[in-house]
Structure 1
Amino acid sequence: MLAVAILAAGKGTRMKTDLPKVLQQLCGRSLVERVLESAATIAPNRQLVIVGHKKEIVESALAHIPSLEFVTQSPQLGTGHAIQQLLEPLKDFTGDLVVLTGDTPLLRPETIQNLVSVHQQRQASATVLTAQLPDPTGYGRVFCNQDFVIERIIEHKDCTEPQRLNQRVSSGVYCFNWQELAIALPKLTSNNAQKEYYLTEVFDYLETVIALDAVDFEESFGINDRLQLAHAHQVIQSRTKERWMRAGVTMILPETITIDDTVELDVDVIIEPQTHLRGKTKILAGATIGPNSFITNSTIGHNCQVSYSVIEDSEIGADSKIGPFSRIRGASVVGDRCRIGNFVELKQAKVGSKTNAAHLSYLGDVTLGSQVNVGAGTITANYDGFAKHQTVIGDRTKIGSNSVLVAPIQIGDNVNIGAGSVVTKDVEANSLVIARAPQVVKPDYYDAQGKKKNPS
């Protein structure tokens, strides 16, 4: 049996925020969600999150994750005190307990798997994930024998100069034999300046404690302030972009690009500079995205081109061209081989294949058929001051520049709407619509200085 406990009770005062530290966002997910996702790969039988500070907010934020058990630590009296709270919920549990902290989002799933495997192979009482830091200043040093059995842990301030040359430190990630740990936990004391119960004291009461070095020392980094959060963002971005470039994605100036690790990219996608991909976005093969584009929770079809544009919660079909300076949002769906051009906004729009809206238009709450041409300056007037209304436009219809379609309205197939029209009534198929006042010309109305000849 295997259980995972995640420490998520702290305030995180150095973050300077009202939001619990473990809920800080990092590349599209909270810190604790990232830890939970990494831990899920070992398929634990039990998952426990130890909460305290603003526990209701933390529990609500994690409510979408099945099978989580929440354990309250109140007051928060240190890491040892936190794990003591598991004595009751795990009283009938037999097996190993993995202890993780909710603020270590860089920990890879394979590292947790390796920690458990080594712990079980060595039949250790406890296994400590350690790291060899280039600069371990301020960290307690972990001293091991040649078999990686931990002999002692010495705080930095208590180390001699030779001892400070040791670069091995604890990450705060452990795997314990639960039966042995449960016996040791009641023995913890708070005889220290902080009057807290430290989990590391249990090593004094356990038989065999071993160390396992993480392959990448950055995995051990915890997030305590905004600077460390920014560094973690850089690490995840570097990992994500390297993975996709090795998989066949081209990135022009990748240092200017950001990509959430929830994004999916096909081969032969090209990402231009200053482009940002977020959430559950998927870019299909052959698409070129950017420069200067932002896409979140959207799917971009094969061979699309998106430049200088924003796409949110929408879907773009194959071989379509978006931008420059388009905005597509509100679950819009654009068909194959469409063009959505300069300063065009779509909101909750369904656009058929081969339809063009090339310039300066707002198309909201609208369904357009295939091969529709929308002239520059076209507006669907979808809001009457109280509610939104739908506009439906049939196949092969042409809408002249500066037209306004006042919803609710239906325009049939093969309709031609004259430029400058304000259309307020439904139009049947195969019609010509001219909905504007007749032009009035009054000759000789002004004098040479531009003044009215007849002011009255």
Structure 2
Amino acid sequence: MLAVAVLAAGKGTRMKSDLPKVLQPLAGATLVERVLGSCRALDPQRQILIVGHQAERVEQSLSQHGGLEFVLQQPQNGTGHAVQQLLAPLADFEGELLVLNGDVPLLREETITALLERHRTSQAAVTLLTARLDDPTGYGRVFADASGHVSAIVEHRDCSEEQRANNLTNAGIYCFNWSKLAAVLPQLSTDNDQGELYLTDTVAMLSPAMHVEVADADEINGINDRYQLAQCEAVIQQRLRRHWMAEGVTFVDPESCTLSDGTRFGRDVVVEPQCHFRGETSVGSGCRIGPGSFLENASVGEEVEVLYSVVRDAVVADGCTIGPYAQLRPGTELARDCRIGNFVEIKKSQIAAGSKVNHLSYIGDAQLGENVNVGAGTITANYDGVNKHQTVIGAGSKTGANSVLVAPITLGANVTVGAGSTLTKDVPAGALALGRAKQLIKENWS
């Protein structure tokens, strides 16, 4: 059996944030969500979060993750003290305990799987993850022989100058035989520079102790401040872009674009510079996105072009063209071959196939039929100061430039609205609607 414990109790003082460190966002997910995701494939029987600072907030943020158990560490007195809190909840547990850190979010599933397999095949009491760093400052040093047997771990601040020359470092990721660990946890001492209970001290108490050296040292990057958060973001973004380029996506300037884990692309998509994808966004094959576009929780069909535009919580069908400088707000649904042009804003509206809103318009709370042509500067006045109302425009209708449709209002099919009109009443199919003030000319006015 396997239990996973994630250490998530720390304050994260150096983040200088009101948000707990483990809830800091990284490429669209919190640090602790990424840590939990890295061990999902192991299918553990128990998943425990050791919480402390703003414990209720951390628990609430993970309310959608089923099967999590929460254990309170109060006060926070080191990693050993944190794991001591598991003695009661795991009193009857027999199996392995995998200990992860809530602020080490770059671990790959295959790395954790390799750690667990090495632990089981070697029948070790403890197996830890290690990495060789060019600059190991701040990391505990691991002392091991050529066969991988670990003799000791010494924290950086407790190392002698000779010990600090060793660049094999402790990643803070462990797999324990739980029964053996539980027997030695009460023996931990605070006799060290920080006066805390170190989980690392258990390694010297357990035999055999083994280590697995990770090939990519970036995987063990921990986060203590905003700079390290930015470094980890860069690593994740590079991974995501490399993955999608291997799947047939072209990034013209990869470093200028950012993705979320939930971003999905079809083949032969071209992503121009300065494009950003957030949330659960999907982009179909043959699309061209950008430059300068932002998509969040967007569903984009095939052969769509988006130029210098924002698409959020919207659905765009095949063959549409958007922009430049358009905004599709939540609730927007475009059918095939629609054209949304420059400086157009669409909100909570359904626009049928072949319709065009080409210039300088606001379409809100509206339903447009097929092949509607919305003239430049057309506004659906959907808000009366208290409530929002709907505008319906029938198939084949046309609005002239600078038209205002005061909702609630319905225009039938094949209606023509004269330029400059303000309409407040329904218009039957096939009609011409005008709502202009009479033009006056006063000669010799100057």
Give, as a single letter, the amino acid of the residue that structure 1 aligns with 2:215: V
Q: Match of 2:348, SS? A: strand
TM superposition shift of 1:301: 1.1
Match of 1:351 in 2: 351
Mapping of residues 155-194 of structure 1, within 5 Å = 155-156=155-156, 159=159, 163-194=163-194
1:22 match: 22
Shift of 1:159: 4.8
Q: Which runs of 5+ in 1 are unaligned?
A: 451-456
Q: Which whole-Å CA distance do the structure 1 matches of 2:33 and 2:94 have between them?
A: 26
Q: Counterpart amino acid of 2:309?
A: S
Alignment of 1:407-418 (within 5 A): 407-418=407-418
- The within-5 A match list for 1:343-422 is 343-422=343-422
Letter matched to residue 171 of structure 1: A
Asked whether the 8 Å contact 2:158–2:193 carries over to 1, the reply is no
AA paired with 2:231? H
**What does 1:207-246 correspond to in 2, within 5 Å?**
207-246=207-246
SS in 1 for 2:365: strand
In 2, the alpha carbon distance for the partners of 1:164 and 1:88 equals: 37
Q: CA deviation at 1:157?
A: 5.2
Corresponding residue SS for 1:41 = helix
1:49 partner SS: strand
The secondary structure found in structure 1 opposite 2:195 is coil
Letter in 2 for 1:187: Q
1:56 and 2:21 aligned: no
Q: Distance in 2 between matches of 1:59 and 1:163?
A: 40
2:38–2:108 CA contact under 8 A, matched in 1 = yes
Give 3-state SS (helix, strand or coil) of 1:230's partner: helix
Q: Partners in 2 of 1:152 and 1:16 — Cα distance?
A: 34
- State the Cα distance separating 1:156 from its structure 2 match: 3.8
1:162 Cα deviation from its structure 2 partner: 5.5
Q: Residue in 2 aligned with 1:454?
A: none
In the alignment, structure 1 residue 130 sits paired with structure 2 residue 114 = no
What displacement does 1:294 show? 0.6
The structural deviation recorded for 1:423 is 0.8
Q: How far does residue 134 in structure 1 lie from its aligned partner after superposition? A: 1.9
Structure 1 residues 59-74: aligned runs within 5 Å: 59-74=59-74
- The one-letter code of the counterpart of 2:37 is E
Distance 1:138 1:438 in 2: 80
Q: Which residue of 1 aligns with 2:440?
A: 440
CA displacement 1:406-448 (0-9 Å, x = unmatched): 0011111111111111110111111111111222333x342xx
Q: C-alpha separation between the residues in 1 aligned to 2:18 and 2:164?
A: 37
What code does the residue aligned with 1:67 have? G
Change (3 A) 1:208 1:225: same
Cα pair 2:158 2:192 within 8 Å, conserved: no
What secondary structure does 1:259 align onto?
Answer: coil
Identify the range of structure 1 (380-389 vs 432-441) with the bigger mean alpha-carbon deviation: 432-441
Q: Give the equivalent residue in structure 1 for 2:430.
A: 430
Aligned to 1:453: none
Which whole-Å CA distance do the structure 2 matches of 1:345 and 1:440 have between them?
33
Partner of 2:248: 248
2:333 is the counterpart of 1:333: yes
Deviation at 1:138, TM superposition (A): 3.3
Partner SS for 2:212: strand
Q: Distance in 2 between matches of 1:202 and 1:160?
A: 20
What do residues 296-352 of structure 1 show as CA deviations (whole Å, max 9, x unaligned)? 110111010000001101011111100000000112101110100000000101110
1:303 aligns with 303
Report the more deviating stretch, 168-177 or 187-196.
187-196
Q: Quote the residue 2:8 is aligned against.
A: 8
1:110: Cα distance to partner? 1.1
Any idea what the Cα deviations from partners look like across 1:200-248, whole Å, max 9, x if unmatched?
1112321211010112111111100000000001000111111111111
Counterpart-to-counterpart distance in 1, 2:75 and 2:156: 28
Q: Within the alignment, does 1:140 sit opposite 2:140 as a pair?
A: yes
The residue type equivalent to 2:313 in the other structure is D
Aligned-partner SS, 1:128: strand
Letter paired with 1:356: K
Match of 2:360, SS state, is strand
Q: Distance in 1 between matches of 2:152 and 2:91?
A: 29
Shift of 1:163: 4.2
Give the Å deviation of 1:396: 0.6
Q: What letter corresponds to residue 87 of structure 1 in structure 2?
A: L
User: 1:161 & 1:83 partners in 2: Cα distance?
Assistant: 30
Q: Is the 8 A contact 2:157 2:193 kept in 1?
A: no
Task: Please tell me the residue identity of whatever aligns with 1:53.
Answer: H
SS at match of 1:291: coil
1:318 & 1:347 partners in 2: Cα distance? 19
The amino acid of 2:281's aligned partner reads T
2:213 partner letter:
D
For structure 2, the 5+ residue unaligned runs are none
TM-score (norm 1): 0.96
**Letter of the structure 2 residue corresponding to residue 357 of structure 1:** V
Aligned to 2:318: 318
Alignment partner, residue 99 of structure 2: 99
Q: Which amino acid aligns with 2:61?
A: A
Q: State the 1:161 CA deviation.
A: 5.6
SS in 2 for 1:86: coil
Cα distance in 1 for partners of 2:61, 2:159 equals 41
Letter in 2 for 1:96: E
Mapped partners of 1:105, 1:132: distance in 2: 18
Give CA-to-partner distance per residue, 1:119-163, whole Å, 9 cap, x none: 111111000000111221332221111210101223445556654
Please tell me the residue identity of whatever aligns with 1:358.
Answer: N
SS of the counterpart of 1:346?
strand
- What residue identity is the alignment partner of 2:273? P
Q: Which amino acid aligns with 2:306?
A: V
By how many angstroms is 1:174 displaced? 0.4
What's the secondary structure of 1:341's corresponding residue? strand
Deviations 1:51-101 (A, max 9, x none): 000101101111110110000000111100100111111111111010001
Q: Percent of pairs identical after alignment?
A: 52
Which has the higher mean CA deviation after the structures are superposed, 148-157 or 52-61? 148-157
* Residue-by-residue CA offset, 1:329-388 (whole Å, 9 max, x unaligned): 112101110100000000101110100000000001111111000000000000000011
Q: How many residues are paired up?
A: 446
> Residues 151 and 204 of structure 2 are in contact (CA less than 8 Å); yes or no, is this contact kept in structure 1?
no
